[in-house]
Amino acid sequence: QVHLMESGGGSVQVGGSLRLSCTISKDSDKKYAMAWFRQAPGKAREGVASINWPGNQDYYEDSVRGRFTITKDDAKNILALEMNNLRPEDTAIYYCAAADGWYNPIFQAHMYDYWGRGTQVTVSL
């Protein structure tokens, strides 16, 4: 069984930075493809960044590429999302997800098996 818990959300001004963390609790050494998704009020959930299970290939949604960085530390069981130059449109609840297979779903949300409860990010002018 895998449990995910996000932390690090908060309120920042435009141009600010935040670092989100997702603590992974699991009962094996298995590595997972993982991703960050977000959902803003009244909008559909969207993929933001993903990383394959070895941790050597990452993917980004167009609007965050160059501003966000996803990293996975399998030794510490932590998935992180470094967010820089934040914009008001980045305001959302951010969720981490893990896929229980030897593939990388990238932003196909239905292919992820485990989800955290989310952490709120608010970017104001």
Sheet strands (E) in the chain: 2-7, 10-13, 18-26, 33-39, 46-51, 58-60, 68-73, 78-83, 92-99, 114-115, 119-124
State residue 80's pLDDT score.
Answer: 98
State residue 117's pLDDT score.
Answer: 98
Q: Answer yes or no: are the C-beta atoms of 62 and 83 closer than 8 Å.
A: no
Mean pLDDT for all residues in the chain: 96
pLDDT average, residue stretch 92-118: 94
**In this structure, what DSSP letter does residue 16 have?**
-
**In this structure, what DSSP letter does residue 9 have?**
-
State residue 101's pLDDT score.
Answer: 79
Residues in contact with 71: Cβ distance below 8 Å, sequence separation at least 6, in sequence order? 51, 55, 79, 80, 82
pLDDT at 103 over 90: no
Select from 62, 40, 42 the least CA-distant residue to 123. 40
State residue 45's pLDDT score.
Answer: 97
17-69 confidence digits (pLDDT tens): 999 999 999 988 899 999 999 999 999 999 999 999 999 999 999 999 999 99
State residue 1's pLDDT score.
Answer: 86
Q: Tell how strand 33-39 and strand 46-51 pair up.
A: antiparallel
State residue 3's pLDDT score.
Answer: 97
